[in-house]
Amino acid sequence: MSVTELRPRTPAETRLIQLAEAQGENENARRPAIEALRREGLPTRKVEAWHYTDLRQLMGKRLGSDDAVEALRESGETLLEPLLQGSAVVDLDAPEAAHLPNGVTGSASAGEADWKTTPNRLDRSIDTVRAMNAAFGAASATIDVAAGTHLDHALELRPATGLKSHAFTTVTIGEKAEATIVERLDGGTTGAPSTGVNMLHVGAGANVLWIVDQEKGLDSSHLGQLSVRLEADSVFRLFVLNAGGGFVRYEVHTDVVGEGADVQIRGVNLLHAGQHVDVTTTLNHTVAHTTATETFRNVVTGGHGVFQGIIKVARGAQKTDAKMACNSLLLSDEGDFSAKPELEIFADDVQCGHGATAGEIDADHLFYLMSRGIPGDQARALLIKAFVAEVVEELEVEAIEDALETRIEAWLEANIR
Amino acid sequence: MLEIKNLHARVADEGTEILRGVDLTVNDGEIAAIMGPNGSGKSTLSYILAGREDYEVTEGDILYNGESILEMEPDERAASGLFLAFQYPLEIPGVATMTFLKTALNAQRKARDEDELTTPEFMRRVKAAAGDLKINPEMLKRPLNVGFSGGEKKRAEILQMALLEPKLCVMDETDSGLDIDALKIVADGVNALRSPERSFLVITHYQRLLDYIVPDTVHVLSNGRIVKTGDKDLALQLEREGYSQIIEEAA
Ligand SMILES: Nc1ncnc2c1ncn2[C@@H]1O[C@H](COP(=O)(O)OP(=O)(O)OP(=O)(O)O)[C@@H](O)[C@H]1O
Ligand SMILES: [Mg+2]
């Protein structure tokens, strides 16, 4: 009798395995991950990391039709303009073909996706996102930015857009290098789930700005993960824009392993009816004198939003200064946002804090704007934009702020009245 | 210009009556001052004029150029020429001051079927008005009122007033928080706006402002009613004697 067979498989789990098996190619590398999923199934809500996101239910609805399983093939999608002008575009299924600037190399790595470690300490014995990524046969890509390189333009990473969109990307930023990287998650109207796992290594004294621009179609689902390791005196800045997707889970796990390192995470989640968007983050501080700030701003006109964030400070990590905030603007009774910020601190000389707020548009602010002649709808739109603009403006790079604000304005125009 | 008739109003969600029959007329081109003890209802009156929803009018009416404005939204009142300089101007993070000014100006112009201002014309006007009020243009690059000092906020209110060119200017304690030089600058700004078609309702606690902005009429509001009306000498009398005598006489 096998203990692992006790829980019956749900239709979602059965379909998931079917779909993974149908991906073809590299069967041997995928086999162990498929077996692990077959054995463990999808996480129930009893697993803390998945408490607000019932994967069995959500994935079950979004595993594509039988046709999707049958017709696994690449579909040619329209070419996008890069988010930031002048970016070097890297197609993650053919990184070696990209025109990369000096100091940057890209290659398709032969190695299989690493799904054996579990960066999300709240997850089960297997890391759900990574195991799925591996089971689906993620294409491995490696991108290296050589030490000391200062990139003038961003690198834009694009996963394949067809039915088979699974990427495992390792990005290494050499010592004292500076780079902006855009992870562009777009398209995905096929109904099949996509996954993307990124391993980012930020060398000593390096400075990285990573931007996630997620604007997938409403019928698509995406499981993403970004695991970051920061060496001494490095700076890692992250901006996450979720402005699409039917079901999206994006995990960020940072390991600060060098003194003087600084993490700055900002994000905007824009939600409307029919969506489930989950951002789950772990900030690990293991050495002394490191800093982190994290702020998410959410605009909810419908659907379900989730933020789970934990700051972990190890015993020796004195003088850690870490702050986390999650603020939601709830514009309709139809939507909700669950926020669960947590601290787990084993050092005694630290400054850590968190806060979560949820509310409506401030009536006094609205009155002030209207008393100057601005009609109600326009005044509301201005205040909603202001609420998210505050975190965008913290980027302090005008071209990037403008690009993100354009995307945000397009969403607001389409979804606010 | 403005006729307030037997106005009764209460706090909308709890029912406390604050205005208990205010009667007040302000003619075209008139400067009317309202004085009165703390908590007498001066700010409440100004909010109700501007259309704030927190208050409910239970009796009486407000006529602006002969027509009731009680059913009008705050933005409609503003577009028709009413302006309230707040006692406590709000900080609105994330809204750039210039964006706000331009949006307000053009929204009002649109409501009046006028063409939008071009950006250069808008900039020219802001620069001129800021110069008159000695407002540092750097301040206007910040989000609306955010981090402005108390006096800077008051000056910014007058800047908005100068740009929007309202017909009826309600100024709620614009003088409190202003230093002596700023008081003079703001008063000069107001005096420059004086015209036969423009009226002012100036709420203040201090005679000093009225030395610079000389009122045609002075009204004392006490416990939700106008209890005495006079000319500028009434303000001097109040300065000397305080409120109690006058309020007792009226009772
Ligand atoms: N929204 C409200 N809820 C409850 N009470 C209110 C509200 N607004 C005003 N009040 C009360 O109504 C009274 C009048 O307030 P108001 O602000 O109009 O006074 P004021 O004459 O402007 O005073 P001050 O000179 O101090 O500015 C006060 O007692 C105040 O507490
Ligand atoms: Mg007041």
Residue A78 has pLDDT above 70, yes or no: no
Residue A74 has pLDDT above 50, yes or no: no
Q: What ipTM, to 2 d.p.? A: 0.96
Query: In the prediction, which pLDDT does A132 show?
Result: 92
Residues A370 and A294 in one domain: no
Residue A70 has pLDDT above 70, yes or no: no
Strand-pair partners of A414: none
**Torsional sign, CA B125, B128, B133, B135:** positive
| A-B Cβ pairs (cutoff 8 Å, strict) | 80
Query: Amino acid identity, residue A224?
Result: G
Residues A319 and A302 in one domain: yes
**Residues in chain A whose beta carbon is closer than 8 A to a beta carbon of chain B?**
363-365, 367-376, 378-379, 382-383, 385-390, 393
- Residues of chain A neighbouring B94 (CB-CB closer than 8 A): 383, 385-390, 393
Ligand 1 atom 30, closest CA: B39
- Residues of chain A neighbouring B143 (CB-CB closer than 8 A): 386
Q: What is the pLDDT of residues B139-182, one digit of tens each?
A: 999 999 999 999 899 999 999 999 999 999 999 999 998 999 99
Residue B87 has pLDDT above 50, yes or no: yes
Name the helix (H) or strand (E) containing B124.
helix B119-132
Contact B90 A370 (CB under 8 A): no
Ligand 2 centre distance from Cα of residue B36 (Å): 9
Ligand 1 atom 6, closest CA: B11
Residue A65 has pLDDT above 60, yes or no: no
CA distance A384 to chain B (A): 9
- Residues of chain A neighbouring B75 (CB-CB closer than 8 A): 370-376, 379
Residue B9 has pLDDT above 50, yes or no: yes
Residues A265 and A382 in one domain: no
Q: Are A221 and A185 in contact (CB under 8 A)?
A: no
With cut-offs at 50, 70 and 90, classify the pLDDT of residue B210: very high
Residues A304 and A263 in one domain: yes
Residues A103 and A63 in one domain: yes
Contact B107 A367 (CB under 8 A): no
Query: In the prediction, which pLDDT does A22 show?
Result: 83
Query: In the prediction, which pLDDT does B20 show?
Result: 96
The minimal CB distance from B111 to the residues A367, A373, A382 is found for: A373
With cut-offs at 50, 70 and 90, classify the pLDDT of residue A190: low
The pairing of beta strand A207-214 with beta strand A178-185: parallel
> Picking from A104-113, A153-162, B221-230, which range would have the lowest pLDDT averaged per residue?
A104-113
Residue A110 has pLDDT above 70, yes or no: no
Query: In the prediction, which pLDDT does A8 show?
Result: 67
Residues A340 and A397 in one domain: no
- Residues of chain A neighbouring B50 (CB-CB closer than 8 A): 367, 371
Ligand 1 centre distance from Cα of residue B55 (Å): 11
Residue A188 has pLDDT above 60, yes or no: no
With cut-offs at 50, 70 and 90, classify the pLDDT of residue A67: low
Domain count, chain A: 2
Residues A225 and A278 in one domain: yes
Residues A97 and A149 in one domain: yes
pTM: 0.89
- Residues of chain A neighbouring B54 (CB-CB closer than 8 A): 363
Higher pLDDT, A161 or A49: A49
Locate the chain A residue with the closest alpha carbon to B102: A374
Query: CB within 8 A of B88, min separation 6: which ones?
Result: none
**Average pLDDT for residues B202-228, to the nearest whole number?**
95
Per DSSP, the three-state class of A185 is: strand
Residues A103 and A225 in one domain: yes
For residue A238, give both structure tokens: 């992250």
Ligand 1 centre distance from Cα of residue B14 (Å): 13
Higher pLDDT, A284 or A217: A284
The minimal CB distance from A389 to the residues B73, B78, B94 is found for: B94
Q: Where are the domains of chain B?
A: 2-250
Residue A189 has pLDDT above 60, yes or no: no
Query: In the prediction, which pLDDT does A69 show?
Result: 45
Residues A382 and A340 in one domain: no
Residues A188 and A276 in one domain: yes
Query: Which one of B75, B157, B161 would you mutate to disrupt binding with A, by most A Cβ within 10 Å of its Cβ?
Result: B75
For residue A297, give both structure tokens: 């701003």
Contact A373 B78 (CB under 8 A): yes
Q: Are A200 and A227 in contact (CB under 8 A)?
A: yes
Which structural domain range is residue A202 located in? Answer: 11-75+84-360
- Residues of chain A neighbouring B74 (CB-CB closer than 8 A): 367, 370-371
Q: Are B193 and B162 in contact (CB under 8 A)?
A: yes
Residue B233 has pLDDT above 50, yes or no: yes
Residue A289 has pLDDT above 70, yes or no: yes
For residue B9, give the ligand nearest its CA: 1
> Picking from A76-85, A127-136, A322-331, which range would have the lowest pLDDT averaged per residue?
A76-85
Q: What is the pLDDT of residues A250-288, one digit of tens each?
A: 999 999 999 999 999 999 999 999 999 999 999 999 999
Query: Which one of A369, A396, A405 would you mutate to disrupt binding with B, by most B Cβ within 10 Å of its Cβ?
Result: A369
CA distance B152 to chain A (A): 17
- Does a structural domain hold residue A4? no
Query: In the prediction, which pLDDT does A12 show?
Result: 80
For residue B39, give the ligand nearest its CA: 1
**Average pLDDT for residues B123-137, to the nearest whole number?**
93
Share of chain A above pLDDT 90, in %: 71
Q: What is the pLDDT of residues A130-157, one digit of tens each?
A: 999 999 988 899 999 999 999 999 999 9
For domain B2-250, give the fold: Rossmann fold (3.40.50)
- Does a structural domain hold residue A184? yes
Ligand 1 atom 24, closest CA: B38
Residue A193 has pLDDT above 90, yes or no: no
Query: CB within 8 A of A390, min separation 6: which ones?
Result: A297, B93, B94
Residues A383 and A417 in one domain: yes
- Does a structural domain hold residue A153? yes
Residue A7 has pLDDT above 80, yes or no: no
Ligand 1 centre distance from Cα of residue B44 (Å): 6
Residue A119 has pLDDT above 80, yes or no: no
Q: Are B175 and B208 in contact (CB under 8 A)?
A: yes
Residue B11 has pLDDT above 80, yes or no: yes
Contact A372 B78 (CB under 8 A): yes
Ligand 1 cavity residues, CB under 6 Å: B 11, 16, 18, 36, 38-44, 54, 87
**Average pLDDT for residues A155-174, to the nearest whole number?**
90
Contact A382 B103 (CB under 8 A): yes
The pairing of beta strand A221-230 with beta strand A194-202: parallel
CA distance B12 to chain A (A): 14
What gap in Å lies between CA A64 and CA B200, rounded to an integer? 68
CA distance B95 to chain A (A): 5
- Give which of B46, B63, B1 is closest to B221, Cα–Cα: B46
Which residue is associated with the tokens 């050495």? A287
Query: In the prediction, which pLDDT does A15 show?
Result: 82
The minimal CB distance from B93 to the residues A376, A378, A386 is found for: A386
Q: What is the pLDDT of residues A378-398, one digit of tens each?
A: 999 999 999 999 999 999 999
Q: Are A139 and A168 in contact (CB under 8 A)?
A: yes
Alpha carbon B195 to its chain centroid, in Å, reads 16
Q: What is the pLDDT of residues B29-38, one digit of tens each?
A: 999 999 999 9
Contact A370 B108 (CB under 8 A): no
